[in-house]
Amino acid sequence: MKRHIKQLKHAPVAILIIVGLVLPSCEINDIPDPNNPTVESVLENATVDDLNNMVVGTESGMRNLLGTYFDNVGVIGREHYRFSSADPRFTSDLLGAGSARLDDNTFYTTNPWAARYRVVKNANILIEAANNTTLITDEQRQGYLAFAKTIKAHQLLMNLTMMDEPGIRINVEDFDNLGPFVQRPAALDSIAGLLDQAMVHAQNAGEEFPFALSSGFADLYDTGDDELDPEDFQKFNRALAARVDVYREDFAGALQALEGSFLELNDNFAKGVYYIFSTAPNDQLNPAFYAPNATGEVRIAHPSFVEDIAPGDDRISKVSRRNEIATQSGLTGEYDVAVYKSNTDPIPLIRNEELILIYAEANIQTGNLLEAVRALNIIRTGHGLLPYTGLVTREALIDEMLEQRRFSLYFEGHRWVDMRRYGRLDELPLDRPGDDVWTTFPRPFIERAE
């Protein structure tokens, strides 16, 4: 199987501020133009309203280009096909058909990359503005810093997920003097460090935040509360830290992070943090949803998903049989991706089912195999399967863990990453002679080579 990674020279990334984007049910006051605020207007003595506007815009911007991101990692990871009547590159470039290669200067590479760095830019401005104002209390300042650094870490991780070997820029605070590209191990360490800094800020943020986040965080509210507080937010931060730690192969660290997360060792699989969508004016629809039996633009479940899933596994509901078989570029599928049932369904950013699987993985890797089996059985029985009866060895349980991650986290952006970090990309199916499974996206052309 061929593996190709382009190394090209590039120009600096264009990072744009998007603080004007808003989520529903948010009010913005005392800003000259809330849809187009200037950076200068908030960098000195920003008010709570100024800062809250940036929080809202930052959370909203996290949703941009999610559909392209999930197509990128899902198609390469052989979770689904993206059939498009308008663009054949989903079935050529992403699948490495024939002589096709991933393009460093086209939409599927540059757009998600730039979208994530726009959110990073917003977070950096929020950090600077919160540090440069006397109009808020220190506890309020700590709350803004906790939010900004946590979201910044998550967005950097998404770009690192795509780029892997080429690495990413961590230091982008000075637009005119961007920091160097940092390779994967050091980038993961930096992201983990950001999350740790944010955790300390959250611990010092008092009992309430001066801002409100969307209902995508509602699962973390304490019983009886109607908004997120710093203690709730710490659970989200530690959940992300656990994900980063397994990527770093710091499995003891992952277990420690999980202790402070929202992990529940039961079948409350959906509990988590979500991107939310609505039909409200100026809001966004779920970009990962296509109606069943659509034509022209469709996402087709990879045939191996249906072929490999165990009888009785209720995760088969993540796909639905089409009325007519879909075909494009020598590829055929009978099932639509059906993870989302409407164009306003939320998309998980991280949820309890992933945390249980991280818990299982970390226990496997630290030698606590029976506890790993217990966690894997929570997943299995929660989806209608019998408890695990295979060998209780590290190798066998890694196989089982990856199998459960495949079906539990289907179309959530994990399969390609999981197979890559365990050196198993050669196990992904090739559907046509000459197809490739890529190890990484090329560094975007809009970047300058280091």
Instruction: Please write down the HEC assignment for all residues of 306-326.
Output: HHHCCCCCHHHHHEEEEEEEE
Tell me the per-residue pLDDT of 362-382, one tens digit each, with 9 for 90 and over: 999 999 999 999 999 999 999
Among 212, 231, 247, give the residue marking a domain's end: 212
Mean pLDDT of 293-303: 97
> What's the confidence (pLDDT) of residue 2?
39
> Does the pLDDT at position 304 exceed 90?
yes
| Residue at which a domain ends, from 306, 337, 368 | 337
What's the whole-number mean pLDDT along residues 77-85? 97
Same domain, 35 and 149: yes
Give the pLDDT band of residue 250 (cuts 50, 70, 90).
Answer: very high
Q: Residue 332 is which amino acid?
A: T
pLDDT for res 390 = 97
372, 363 Cβ separation under 8 angstroms: yes
Q: Is the pLDDT of residue 3 over 70?
A: no
Let me know: does 449 contact 113? Beta carbons within 8 Å.
no
In-domain check, residue 19: yes
Same domain? 196 vs 50: yes
- Asked if residue 5 belongs to a domain, the reply is no
In the prediction, which pLDDT does 23 show?
A: 36
Whether 90 is covered by a domain: the verdict is yes
Q: Are 293 and 324 in contact (CB under 8 A)?
A: yes
- 36 has a pLDDT exceeding 60: no
Q: In this structure, are 51 and 153 located in the same domain? A: yes
**Sheet containing 331-337: which strands, arranged edge to edge?**
80-84, 297-301, 331-337, 319-328
Would you tell me how many other CB atoms lie within 10 Å of the CB of residue 377? 17
Query: Residues 20, 136: one domain?
Result: yes
Average pLDDT over residues 142-155: 98
Q: Are 34 and 150 in the same domain?
A: yes
pLDDT the model gives residue 75: 98
In this predicted structure, the answer to whether residue 33 has a pLDDT above a threshold of 70 is no
Answer whether residue 9 shows pLDDT above 90: no
Residue 384 inside a domain? The answer is no
Q: Where do the H-state alpha helices sit in 33-104?
A: 40-43, 48-61, 66-76
Are the CB atoms for 373 and 397 separated by under 8 Å? yes
Range of the domain at 34: 13-212
Could you tell me if 205 and 94 lie in one domain?
yes
Residue 20 lies in a domain: yes
DSSP string, 122-138: HHHHHHHHHHT-SSS-H
Looking at the fold, whether 78 and 177 belong to one and the same domain comes out as yes
Count up the domains in the chain and report the number.
2
pLDDT of residue 32: 46
In angstroms, the Cα distances linking 103 to 49, 95, 329 are 42, 12, 19
Return the CATH number at 199.
Answer: 1.25.40
Based on the fold, state whether residues 18 and 138 are members of the same structural domain: yes
Give the model confidence (pLDDT) of 156-213 as tens digits. 999 999 999 899 999 999 988 999 999 999 999 999 999 999 999 999 999 999 999 9
pLDDT for res 69: 98
Evaluate if residue 287 carries a pLDDT over 90.
yes
Are 188 and 329 in the same domain? no
Residue 223: which pLDDT band, with cuts at 50, 70 and 90?
A: confident
Q: Is 165 exposed, middle or buried (0-12, 13-18, 19+ CB in 10 A)?
A: middle
Lowest mean pLDDT among 60-69, 145-154, 225-234, 419-428: 225-234
CA distance 268 to 131: 39
Q: Which of 363, 365, 305, 377 is nearest to 335 (CA)?
A: 305
Domain's final residue, options 212, 236, 253 = 212
CA atoms lying within 13 Å on the CB side of residue 112: 23
Averaged over 48-54, what is the pLDDT? 97
In a domain, 237, yes or no: no
Q: What's the mean pLDDT in 56-60?
A: 97
- Whether residue 266 is contained in a domain is answered as no
Is 57 in the same domain as 174?
yes
Q: Residue 244 domain-assigned?
A: no
The confidence band for 38, taking pLDDT boundaries of 50, 70 and 90, is low
Which residue would you say has higher pLDDT here, 153 or 4? Answer: 153
Do residues 82 and 204 share a domain?
Answer: yes
**Residue 19: per-residue pLDDT:** 38
Average predicted confidence (pLDDT) for the chain: 92
Q: What is the pTM of this model?
A: 0.91
pLDDT, average across residues 219-245: 93
Residue 449 pLDDT exceeds 60: no
Q: What percent of the chain has pLDDT over 70?
A: 91
Q: Which of 3-17, 269-283, 379-393 has the lowest mean pLDDT?
A: 3-17
